[in-house]
Amino acid sequence: MLKAIKAGTLIDGNGAKFDAATIVVENGLIREIATDGKSPPINGNAEWLDYSDLTVLPGLIDGHVHIVFSAGESALNDILTDSNERAMLRAVHNVQAALSVGVTTVRDVGGITDVTLALRDAIRDGIVPGPRILAAGPAITITGGHCYFLGGEADGIEAVRHKARDLAKRGVDLFKVMATGGGMTPGTNTTRAQFTVEELEALVGEAHRRHLKVAAHAHGVAGIRNAVTAGVNTIEHCTWVREDDLDSIDFDENVAKMMAAKGVFMSPTLCPSWLNLNRPAGGEMTPNRVRMRRLAPLIKEAKVKALALGVEPMGGTDAGVSNVPLDSMPIEIRCLVEELELTPMQAIVASTRNGSRALGIDGEVGTVDVGKRADLLVVEGDPSADILNVGKTRWVLRDGNVLVENGRLVRT
Ligand SMILES: [Zn+2]
Protein backbone atom coordinates (compact mmCIF):
# COMPACT_ATOMS: atom_id res chain seq x y z
CA MET A 1 0.00 0.00 0.00
CA LEU A 2 1.54 3.24 -1.21
CA LYS A 3 0.76 6.63 0.28
CA ALA A 4 2.05 10.04 -0.73
CA ILE A 5 1.84 12.70 1.95
CA LYS A 6 2.14 16.36 0.97
CA ALA A 7 3.47 18.66 3.70
CA GLY A 8 3.45 22.44 3.45
CA THR A 9 6.31 22.39 5.91
CA LEU A 10 8.30 19.36 7.03
CA ILE A 11 10.18 19.34 10.35
CA ASP A 12 12.32 16.21 10.28
CA GLY A 13 13.15 15.76 13.99
CA ASN A 14 16.87 16.16 13.31
CA GLY A 15 16.61 19.95 13.58
CA ALA A 16 15.95 20.72 9.92
CA LYS A 17 12.91 22.23 8.21
CA PHE A 18 11.85 21.94 4.57
CA ASP A 19 9.19 23.53 2.39
CA ALA A 20 6.72 21.77 0.12
CA ALA A 21 7.71 18.19 0.90
CA THR A 22 6.25 14.93 -0.28
CA ILE A 23 6.76 11.82 1.83
CA VAL A 24 6.19 8.48 0.13
CA VAL A 25 5.15 5.68 2.49
CA GLU A 26 5.02 2.01 1.60
CA ASN A 27 3.75 -0.59 4.05
CA GLY A 28 4.13 1.84 6.92
CA LEU A 29 7.74 2.77 6.12
CA ILE A 30 9.08 6.01 4.65
CA ARG A 31 10.44 5.13 1.19
CA GLU A 32 11.19 8.54 -0.28
CA ILE A 33 11.21 12.20 0.70
CA ALA A 34 11.19 15.02 -1.82
CA THR A 35 11.37 18.68 -0.83
CA ASP A 36 11.07 22.15 -2.38
CA GLY A 37 8.05 21.16 -4.47
CA LYS A 38 9.88 18.37 -6.33
CA SER A 39 7.95 15.22 -7.23
CA PRO A 40 9.26 11.93 -5.88
CA PRO A 41 9.12 8.89 -8.17
CA ILE A 42 5.96 6.90 -7.45
CA ASN A 43 5.51 3.47 -8.97
CA GLY A 44 1.85 2.59 -9.29
CA ASN A 45 -1.18 4.08 -7.60
CA ALA A 46 -0.77 5.97 -4.39
CA GLU A 47 -3.29 7.34 -1.94
CA TRP A 48 -2.60 11.06 -1.59
CA LEU A 49 -2.90 12.82 1.75
CA ASP A 50 -2.77 16.56 1.25
CA TYR A 51 -1.42 18.51 4.21
CA SER A 52 0.04 21.23 2.02
CA ASP A 53 -1.30 24.00 4.27
CA LEU A 54 -0.01 22.29 7.44
CA THR A 55 3.26 21.23 9.11
CA VAL A 56 4.31 17.59 9.36
CA LEU A 57 6.70 16.46 12.07
CA PRO A 58 7.68 13.10 13.59
CA GLY A 59 5.17 11.57 16.00
CA LEU A 60 6.03 12.69 19.53
CA ILE A 61 7.70 10.40 22.04
CA ASP A 62 6.54 10.82 25.63
CA GLY A 63 9.43 9.24 27.51
CA HIS A 64 7.83 9.25 30.94
CA VAL A 65 4.26 8.12 31.52
CA HIS A 66 2.28 5.93 33.92
CA ILE A 67 -0.61 4.62 31.87
CA VAL A 68 -2.41 2.91 34.77
CA PHE A 69 -2.35 6.01 36.97
CA SER A 70 -5.52 8.13 37.09
CA ALA A 71 -4.00 11.64 36.75
CA GLY A 72 -6.67 12.63 39.27
CA GLU A 73 -6.16 14.66 42.41
CA SER A 74 -5.83 11.41 44.37
CA ALA A 75 -3.73 9.41 41.92
CA LEU A 76 -1.99 7.52 44.73
CA ASN A 77 -5.24 6.40 46.32
CA ASP A 78 -6.62 5.41 42.91
CA ILE A 79 -3.70 3.12 42.08
CA LEU A 80 -3.87 1.56 45.56
CA THR A 81 -7.58 0.76 45.24
CA ASP A 82 -8.16 0.12 41.51
CA SER A 83 -8.72 -3.44 40.34
CA ASN A 84 -6.59 -4.56 37.39
CA GLU A 85 -9.71 -4.39 35.21
CA ARG A 86 -10.33 -0.77 36.16
CA ALA A 87 -6.63 0.03 35.70
CA MET A 88 -6.81 -1.43 32.19
CA LEU A 89 -9.76 0.79 31.30
CA ARG A 90 -7.85 3.80 32.57
CA ALA A 91 -4.81 2.73 30.58
CA VAL A 92 -6.77 2.46 27.32
CA HIS A 93 -8.31 5.88 27.91
CA ASN A 94 -4.89 7.30 28.80
CA VAL A 95 -2.91 6.03 25.83
CA GLN A 96 -5.62 7.18 23.43
CA ALA A 97 -5.53 10.65 25.02
CA ALA A 98 -1.77 10.70 24.35
CA LEU A 99 -2.28 9.56 20.77
CA SER A 100 -4.87 12.29 20.18
CA VAL A 101 -2.21 14.99 20.67
CA GLY A 102 0.33 13.29 18.42
CA VAL A 103 2.19 11.00 20.83
CA THR A 104 2.92 7.89 18.78
CA THR A 105 5.27 6.26 21.31
CA VAL A 106 5.13 6.22 25.10
CA ARG A 107 7.60 4.80 27.58
CA ASP A 108 5.77 3.55 30.65
CA VAL A 109 8.11 3.84 33.62
CA GLY A 110 6.03 2.35 36.39
CA GLY A 111 2.82 0.40 36.21
CA ILE A 112 1.04 -2.86 36.85
CA THR A 113 3.04 -5.36 34.83
CA ASP A 114 0.12 -7.53 33.68
CA VAL A 115 -1.91 -4.51 32.59
CA THR A 116 0.74 -2.44 30.84
CA LEU A 117 2.25 -5.40 29.00
CA ALA A 118 -1.18 -6.71 27.95
CA LEU A 119 -2.16 -3.32 26.55
CA ARG A 120 1.24 -2.94 24.85
CA ASP A 121 0.68 -6.26 23.09
CA ALA A 122 -2.98 -5.53 22.25
CA ILE A 123 -2.02 -2.27 20.55
CA ARG A 124 0.85 -3.98 18.73
CA ASP A 125 -1.58 -6.66 17.48
CA GLY A 126 -4.13 -4.10 16.29
CA ILE A 127 -6.84 -4.95 18.84
CA VAL A 128 -7.13 -1.33 20.00
CA PRO A 129 -5.63 1.80 18.45
CA GLY A 130 -2.95 3.50 20.50
CA PRO A 131 0.64 4.60 20.57
CA ARG A 132 3.55 2.16 20.59
CA ILE A 133 4.24 1.30 24.25
CA LEU A 134 7.59 0.47 25.78
CA ALA A 135 6.96 -0.70 29.32
CA ALA A 136 9.11 -1.25 32.38
CA GLY A 137 6.47 -3.02 34.45
CA PRO A 138 6.90 -1.93 38.07
CA ALA A 139 9.77 0.32 39.06
CA ILE A 140 12.48 -1.51 40.98
CA THR A 141 12.63 0.03 44.44
CA ILE A 142 13.73 -0.75 47.99
CA THR A 143 11.33 -2.33 50.46
CA GLY A 144 8.82 0.41 51.31
CA GLY A 145 10.55 2.69 48.79
CA HIS A 146 9.07 4.97 46.13
CA CYS A 147 6.17 3.20 44.37
CA TYR A 148 6.72 -0.03 46.32
CA PHE A 149 3.02 -0.80 45.78
CA LEU A 150 3.66 -1.61 42.12
CA GLY A 151 5.47 -4.79 43.19
CA GLY A 152 9.09 -3.98 42.34
CA GLU A 153 10.70 -4.22 45.79
CA ALA A 154 14.26 -5.57 45.91
CA ASP A 155 17.08 -5.08 48.43
CA GLY A 156 20.72 -5.92 47.87
CA ILE A 157 22.64 -6.93 44.77
CA GLU A 158 21.26 -10.46 44.48
CA ALA A 159 17.64 -9.39 44.95
CA VAL A 160 18.03 -6.60 42.38
CA ARG A 161 19.51 -9.10 39.91
CA HIS A 162 16.69 -11.53 40.53
CA LYS A 163 14.02 -8.85 40.14
CA ALA A 164 15.56 -7.69 36.87
CA ARG A 165 15.78 -11.26 35.54
CA ASP A 166 12.19 -11.94 36.56
CA LEU A 167 10.93 -8.80 34.83
CA ALA A 168 12.93 -9.61 31.70
CA LYS A 169 11.36 -13.07 31.73
CA ARG A 170 7.93 -11.45 31.85
CA GLY A 171 8.82 -9.39 28.79
CA VAL A 172 9.48 -5.82 29.89
CA ASP A 173 11.15 -3.47 27.39
CA LEU A 174 13.35 -1.63 29.89
CA PHE A 175 14.05 -1.40 33.59
CA LYS A 176 12.98 1.53 35.74
CA VAL A 177 14.69 2.02 39.06
CA MET A 178 13.88 4.43 41.86
CA ALA A 179 17.31 5.82 42.71
CA THR A 180 15.77 8.13 45.34
CA GLY A 181 12.47 8.41 47.15
CA GLY A 182 9.58 10.26 45.53
CA GLY A 183 6.92 12.78 46.42
CA MET A 184 4.06 10.40 45.59
CA THR A 185 5.04 7.81 48.20
CA PRO A 186 4.74 8.93 51.82
CA GLY A 187 7.61 7.85 54.05
CA THR A 188 10.25 7.87 51.31
CA ASN A 189 13.12 10.35 51.22
CA THR A 190 13.43 12.20 47.91
CA THR A 191 16.78 13.68 48.91
CA ARG A 192 18.56 10.39 49.70
CA ALA A 193 19.82 7.59 47.48
CA GLN A 194 17.76 4.40 47.72
CA PHE A 195 20.36 2.10 46.15
CA THR A 196 24.12 1.81 46.30
CA VAL A 197 26.23 2.13 43.17
CA GLU A 198 26.89 -1.64 43.38
CA GLU A 199 23.17 -2.47 43.39
CA LEU A 200 22.59 -0.16 40.43
CA GLU A 201 25.59 -1.62 38.58
CA ALA A 202 24.10 -5.09 38.99
CA LEU A 203 20.85 -3.81 37.43
CA VAL A 204 22.65 -2.04 34.59
CA GLY A 205 24.62 -5.24 33.93
CA GLU A 206 21.41 -7.29 33.68
CA ALA A 207 19.91 -4.65 31.38
CA HIS A 208 22.77 -4.16 29.01
CA ARG A 209 23.48 -7.86 28.47
CA ARG A 210 19.90 -8.01 27.18
CA HIS A 211 20.27 -4.75 25.20
CA LEU A 212 17.69 -3.10 27.46
CA LYS A 213 17.89 0.44 28.83
CA VAL A 214 17.66 1.60 32.42
CA ALA A 215 15.64 4.67 33.43
CA ALA A 216 16.46 6.01 36.88
CA HIS A 217 14.09 8.19 38.87
CA ALA A 218 16.28 10.59 40.86
CA HIS A 219 15.58 13.82 42.70
CA GLY A 220 18.36 14.08 45.29
CA VAL A 221 21.84 14.65 43.98
CA ALA A 222 23.18 11.54 45.75
CA GLY A 223 20.76 9.36 43.79
CA ILE A 224 21.62 11.08 40.51
CA ARG A 225 25.32 10.55 41.20
CA ASN A 226 24.92 6.85 42.02
CA ALA A 227 22.74 6.21 38.98
CA VAL A 228 25.02 8.03 36.53
CA THR A 229 28.11 6.34 38.01
CA ALA A 230 26.45 2.93 37.59
CA GLY A 231 25.73 3.66 33.91
CA VAL A 232 21.95 4.09 33.62
CA ASN A 233 20.64 5.58 30.38
CA THR A 234 18.23 8.28 31.53
CA ILE A 235 17.74 10.34 34.67
CA GLU A 236 14.09 11.09 35.34
CA HIS A 237 13.14 14.40 37.00
CA CYS A 238 16.78 15.24 37.80
CA THR A 239 15.95 18.00 40.28
CA TRP A 240 19.33 18.10 42.08
CA VAL A 241 17.79 18.41 45.57
CA ARG A 242 20.33 18.67 48.37
CA GLU A 243 20.74 15.66 50.66
CA ASP A 244 18.52 15.94 53.73
CA ASP A 245 17.34 19.42 52.74
CA LEU A 246 14.13 19.47 50.72
CA ASP A 247 14.33 23.24 50.44
CA SER A 248 17.56 23.72 48.55
CA ILE A 249 19.40 22.59 45.47
CA ASP A 250 22.91 21.16 45.26
CA PHE A 251 23.80 21.14 41.58
CA ASP A 252 26.89 18.98 41.04
CA GLU A 253 28.79 20.10 37.96
CA ASN A 254 30.95 16.96 37.91
CA VAL A 255 27.91 14.69 37.85
CA ALA A 256 26.39 16.75 35.04
CA LYS A 257 29.67 16.51 33.09
CA MET A 258 29.65 12.74 33.65
CA MET A 259 26.06 12.61 32.29
CA ALA A 260 27.15 14.49 29.17
CA ALA A 261 30.25 12.32 28.68
CA LYS A 262 28.31 9.06 29.10
CA GLY A 263 25.37 10.18 26.97
CA VAL A 264 22.89 9.93 29.84
CA PHE A 265 19.72 11.75 28.85
CA MET A 266 17.94 14.12 31.22
CA SER A 267 14.19 13.64 31.31
CA PRO A 268 13.22 16.81 33.18
CA THR A 269 9.45 16.07 33.45
CA LEU A 270 8.36 19.69 33.72
CA CYS A 271 4.61 19.07 33.51
CA PRO A 272 3.81 18.15 37.13
CA SER A 273 5.26 21.36 38.50
CA TRP A 274 3.85 23.54 35.69
CA LEU A 275 0.37 22.03 35.79
CA ASN A 276 0.16 22.01 39.57
CA LEU A 277 1.43 25.57 39.91
CA ASN A 278 -0.65 27.00 37.06
CA ARG A 279 -3.91 25.48 38.18
CA PRO A 280 -7.17 27.22 37.59
CA ALA A 281 -8.72 28.92 40.61
CA GLY A 282 -9.91 26.41 43.17
CA GLY A 283 -6.63 24.51 43.27
CA GLU A 284 -5.73 24.39 46.92
CA MET A 285 -2.23 25.67 47.81
CA THR A 286 -1.11 22.68 49.87
CA PRO A 287 2.20 22.89 51.78
CA ASN A 288 3.71 20.77 49.01
CA ARG A 289 2.58 23.26 46.34
CA VAL A 290 3.96 26.16 48.35
CA ARG A 291 7.30 24.34 48.53
CA MET A 292 7.19 23.50 44.80
CA ARG A 293 6.60 27.15 43.97
CA ARG A 294 9.60 28.25 46.04
CA LEU A 295 11.90 25.58 44.67
CA ALA A 296 10.81 25.67 41.00
CA PRO A 297 13.11 28.53 39.87
CA LEU A 298 16.11 26.90 41.57
CA ILE A 299 15.43 23.51 39.97
CA LYS A 300 15.02 25.22 36.61
CA GLU A 301 18.37 26.96 37.05
CA ALA A 302 20.13 23.66 37.83
CA LYS A 303 18.61 21.95 34.79
CA VAL A 304 19.63 24.84 32.53
CA LYS A 305 23.19 24.51 33.87
CA ALA A 306 23.18 20.78 33.11
CA LEU A 307 22.10 21.49 29.54
CA ALA A 308 24.84 24.09 29.18
CA LEU A 309 27.36 21.39 30.15
CA GLY A 310 26.19 19.25 27.23
CA VAL A 311 23.55 17.01 28.82
CA GLU A 312 20.96 16.05 26.19
CA PRO A 313 17.30 16.63 27.10
CA MET A 314 14.40 14.36 26.23
CA GLY A 315 10.66 14.94 26.48
CA GLY A 316 8.61 13.23 29.16
CA THR A 317 5.52 14.40 31.02
CA ASP A 318 5.19 12.09 34.06
CA ALA A 319 1.57 11.87 32.91
CA GLY A 320 -0.70 9.84 35.14
CA VAL A 321 0.48 11.45 38.37
CA SER A 322 -1.87 13.93 40.02
CA ASN A 323 -3.22 16.59 37.66
CA VAL A 324 -1.07 15.53 34.72
CA PRO A 325 -3.33 13.99 32.06
CA LEU A 326 -1.87 11.87 29.30
CA ASP A 327 -2.46 14.52 26.65
CA SER A 328 0.10 16.84 28.30
CA MET A 329 2.98 16.39 25.85
CA PRO A 330 2.42 19.73 24.05
CA ILE A 331 2.68 21.42 27.47
CA GLU A 332 5.94 19.60 28.22
CA ILE A 333 7.38 20.78 24.90
CA ARG A 334 6.25 24.33 25.62
CA CYS A 335 7.93 24.11 29.07
CA LEU A 336 11.18 22.92 27.47
CA VAL A 337 11.17 26.27 25.64
CA GLU A 338 9.78 28.54 28.33
CA GLU A 339 11.54 27.04 31.35
CA LEU A 340 14.69 25.33 30.04
CA GLU A 341 15.36 27.95 27.38
CA LEU A 342 15.55 25.54 24.45
CA THR A 343 14.69 26.91 21.03
CA PRO A 344 11.39 25.56 19.67
CA MET A 345 13.36 23.39 17.24
CA GLN A 346 15.53 21.99 20.06
CA ALA A 347 12.41 21.20 22.08
CA ILE A 348 10.96 19.33 19.10
CA VAL A 349 14.22 17.37 18.64
CA ALA A 350 14.18 16.54 22.38
CA SER A 351 10.67 15.14 22.03
CA THR A 352 11.25 13.16 18.85
CA ARG A 353 14.81 12.13 17.90
CA ASN A 354 16.29 12.33 21.40
CA GLY A 355 13.38 10.35 22.81
CA SER A 356 13.96 7.61 20.24
CA ARG A 357 17.66 7.47 21.10
CA ALA A 358 16.99 7.37 24.82
CA LEU A 359 14.57 4.50 24.28
CA GLY A 360 16.91 2.70 21.87
CA ILE A 361 14.40 2.77 18.99
CA ASP A 362 16.05 5.42 16.81
CA GLY A 363 16.48 2.88 14.00
CA GLU A 364 12.70 2.75 13.74
CA VAL A 365 11.10 6.05 14.75
CA GLY A 366 11.86 9.54 16.02
CA THR A 367 12.68 11.30 12.75
CA VAL A 368 11.21 11.68 9.30
CA ASP A 369 13.93 9.83 7.40
CA VAL A 370 13.91 7.20 4.69
CA GLY A 371 13.58 3.75 6.27
CA LYS A 372 11.82 4.94 9.41
CA ARG A 373 8.23 4.11 10.31
CA ALA A 374 5.76 6.73 9.15
CA ASP A 375 4.76 7.98 12.60
CA LEU A 376 3.72 11.54 11.86
CA LEU A 377 2.07 14.47 13.57
CA VAL A 378 0.36 17.10 11.45
CA VAL A 379 -0.31 20.48 13.03
CA GLU A 380 -1.52 23.92 12.09
CA GLY A 381 1.10 26.63 11.85
CA ASP A 382 4.84 26.23 12.27
CA PRO A 383 5.87 24.98 15.74
CA SER A 384 9.51 25.91 15.06
CA ALA A 385 8.35 29.55 14.90
CA ASP A 386 5.82 29.38 17.74
CA ILE A 387 6.00 26.32 19.98
CA LEU A 388 2.31 26.63 20.92
CA ASN A 389 1.55 25.36 17.41
CA VAL A 390 2.78 21.91 18.45
CA GLY A 391 -0.53 21.58 20.32
CA LYS A 392 -2.66 22.43 17.28
CA THR A 393 -3.05 18.78 16.32
CA ARG A 394 -4.91 17.98 13.13
CA TRP A 395 -3.78 14.52 12.02
CA VAL A 396 -1.77 11.72 13.59
CA LEU A 397 -0.42 8.76 11.65
CA ARG A 398 1.16 5.61 13.04
CA ASP A 399 2.96 3.31 10.63
CA GLY A 400 1.37 5.34 7.85
CA ASN A 401 -2.19 4.81 9.11
CA VAL A 402 -4.35 7.79 10.02
CA LEU A 403 -5.40 7.30 13.66
CA VAL A 404 -6.41 10.90 14.44
CA GLU A 405 -8.37 13.03 12.02
CA ASN A 406 -9.05 16.70 12.71
CA GLY A 407 -8.06 16.11 16.31
CA ARG A 408 -10.36 13.12 16.84
CA LEU A 409 -9.42 9.48 17.21
CA VAL A 410 -10.63 7.38 14.29
CA ARG A 411 -10.64 3.68 13.57
CA THR A 412 -9.02 2.69 10.32
ZN1 LIG B 1 7.03 9.09 37.07
In this prediction, residue 345 carries a pLDDT of 98
Dihedral Cα 196, 198, 202, 208, nearest 10 deg: 100
Q: How far is the CA of 403 from the centre of ligand 1 (A)?
A: 27
In this prediction, residue 248 carries a pLDDT of 92
- Contact status, residue 42 vs residue 31, Cβ threshold 8 Å: no
First to last CA, the chain: 14
In this prediction, residue 44 carries a pLDDT of 80
* Residue 380 Ramachandran class (φ > 0 left, ψ -120 to 50 alpha, else beta): beta
DSSP H helices, 317-412, are 329-338, 344-350, 353-359
Q: How far is the CA of 318 from the centre of ligand 1 (A)?
A: 5
Q: How far is the CA of 205 from the centre of ligand 1 (A)?
A: 23
- Contact status, residue 398 vs residue 375, Cβ threshold 8 Å: yes
Q: How far is the CA of 301 from the centre of ligand 1 (A)?
A: 21
In this prediction, residue 87 carries a pLDDT of 97
Q: How far is the CA of 127 from the centre of ligand 1 (A)?
A: 27
Q: How far is the CA of 153 from the centre of ligand 1 (A)?
A: 16
Q: How far is the CA of 324 from the centre of ligand 1 (A)?
A: 11
Q: How far is the CA of 110 from the centre of ligand 1 (A)?
A: 7
In this prediction, residue 236 carries a pLDDT of 98
User: Cα dist. 240→5, 136, 154, 155, 321 in Å?
Assistant: 44, 24, 25, 24, 20
**Residue 41, phi then psi, degrees to nearest 5:** -70, 130
Q: How far is the CA of 278 from the centre of ligand 1 (A)?
A: 19
Spacing of C-alpha 54 from chain mean position: 25
Name residues whose C-beta falls within 8 Å of residue 20's C-beta, 6 or more positions apart in sequence: 6, 7, 8, 35, 36, 37, 52
Dihedral Cα 77, 117, 326, 268, nearest 10 deg: 90
In this prediction, residue 278 carries a pLDDT of 80
In this prediction, residue 283 carries a pLDDT of 60
Segment (H or E) for 51: strand 47-58
Q: How far apart are CA 9 and CA 35, in angstroms?
A: 9
Strand extents, DSSP E, 186-244:
213-220, 234-242
In this prediction, residue 284 carries a pLDDT of 66
Per-residue pLDDT of the chain (412 residues; tens, 9 = 90+): 899 999 999 999 999 999 999 999 999 999 999 999 998 888 788 999 999 999 999 999 999 999 999 999 999 999 999 999 999 999 999 999 999 999 999 999 999 999 999 999 999 999 999 999 999 999 999 999 999 999 999 999 999 999 999 999 999 999 999 999 998 888 898 999 999 999 999 999 999 999 999 999 999 999 999 999 999 999 999 999 999 988 899 999 999 999 999 999 999 999 999 998 886 655 666 777 788 888 999 999 999 999 999 999 999 999 999 999 999 999 999 999 999 999 999 999 999 999 999 999 999 999 999 999 999 999 999 999 999 999 999 999 999 999 999 889 997 6
Q: How far is the CA of 66 from the centre of ligand 1 (A)?
A: 7
Q: How far is the CA of 238 from the centre of ligand 1 (A)?
A: 12
Q: Which of 157, 183, 135, 146 is nearest to 322 (CA)?
A: 183
Name residues whose C-beta falls within 8 Å of residue 363's C-beta, 6 or more positions apart in sequence: none
In this prediction, residue 412 carries a pLDDT of 61
Q: How far is the CA of 200 from the centre of ligand 1 (A)?
A: 18
In this prediction, residue 145 carries a pLDDT of 94
**Strand pairing class (234-242; 213-220):** parallel
pTM for the whole thing?
0.96
Q: How far apart are CA 154 and CA 175, in angstroms?
A: 13
Q: How far is the CA of 381 from the centre of ligand 1 (A)?
A: 31
In this prediction, residue 281 carries a pLDDT of 56
Q: How far is the CA of 270 from the centre of ligand 1 (A)?
A: 11
Q: Give the bridge partners for 175, in sequence order.
A: 214
Q: How far is the CA of 68 from the centre of ligand 1 (A)?
A: 12
Q: How far is the CA of 151 from the centre of ligand 1 (A)?
A: 15
Q: How far is the CA of 177 from the centre of ligand 1 (A)?
A: 11
In this prediction, residue 290 carries a pLDDT of 81
DSSP H helices, 25-182, are 75-81, 84-100, 113-124, 157-170
The count of other CB atoms within 10 Å of the CB of residue 324 is: 25
Name residues whose C-beta falls within 8 Å of residue 46's C-beta, 6 or more positions apart in sequence: 2, 3, 4, 24
Q: Which of 209, 232, 151, 183 is nearest to 75 (CA)?
A: 183
Q: How far is the CA of 178 from the centre of ligand 1 (A)?
A: 10
